[in-house]
Amino acid sequence: MEIRFLGTGAGRPAKERNVSSIALMLPQECGGFWLIDAGEGTQHQLLQTPLKLNKLEAVFITHLHGDHVYGLPGLLSSRSYHEGSGPLRLFGPEGVKELVHDMFRHTSSALDYELIVEELAEGVIYKDECMTVEAAPLKHRVPSWGYRFTEKNKPGPLLTGKLKALGVPPGPLYGRLKAGGTVTLDDGTLVKGEDVVGPAVKGRIITVLGDTIPCDCAVVLAKDADVLVHEATFREGMEEKAHKYGHSTTVQAAVTAREAGAGQLLMTHFSSRYSHADLPSLELEARRVFPNSFAAADFKVFKVESKT
**Other beta carbons within 10 Å of 78:** 14
Q: Is 247 annotated as a binding residue?
A: no
3, β-bridge pairs? 24, 302
Q: Is 140 annotated as a binding residue?
A: yes
Q: Strand locations in the chain, DSSP E?
A: 2-7, 21-25, 33-36, 56-60, 88-92, 115-119, 123-127, 131-137, 145-151, 182-184, 190-192, 205-209, 227-231, 265-268, 293-295, 301-303
This prediction's pTM: 0.90
Domain boundaries, the chain: 2-154+201-303, 160-196
**21 three-state secondary structure:** strand
Q: Is 269 annotated as a binding residue?
A: yes
Q: How far apart are CA 289 and CA 141, in angstroms?
A: 27
Q: Is 230 annotated as a binding residue?
A: no
Per-residue model confidence (pLDDT) at position 308: 54
Per-residue model confidence (pLDDT) at position 171: 85
End-to-end CA distance of the chain: 15
128 is catalytic: no
Q: Which of 37, 67, 226, 298 is catalytic?
A: 67
Per-residue model confidence (pLDDT) at position 180: 81
2-154+201-303 under CATH 3.10.450.50, yes or no = no
- Which sign, positive or negative, has the C-alpha torsion 303, 304, 306, 307? positive
**Full pLDDT tens readout for the chain, 308 residues:** 999 999 999 999 998 999 999 999 998 778 899 999 999 999 999 999 999 999 999 999 999 999 999 999 999 999 999 999 999 999 999 999 999 999 999 999 899 999 999 999 999 999 999 999 999 999 999 999 999 999 998 878 888 888 888 888 888 888 888 878 898 888 888 988 888 888 888 999 999 999 999 999 999 999 999 999 999 999 999 999 999 999 999 999 999 999 999 999 999 999 999 999 999 999 999 999 999 999 999 999 999 987 55
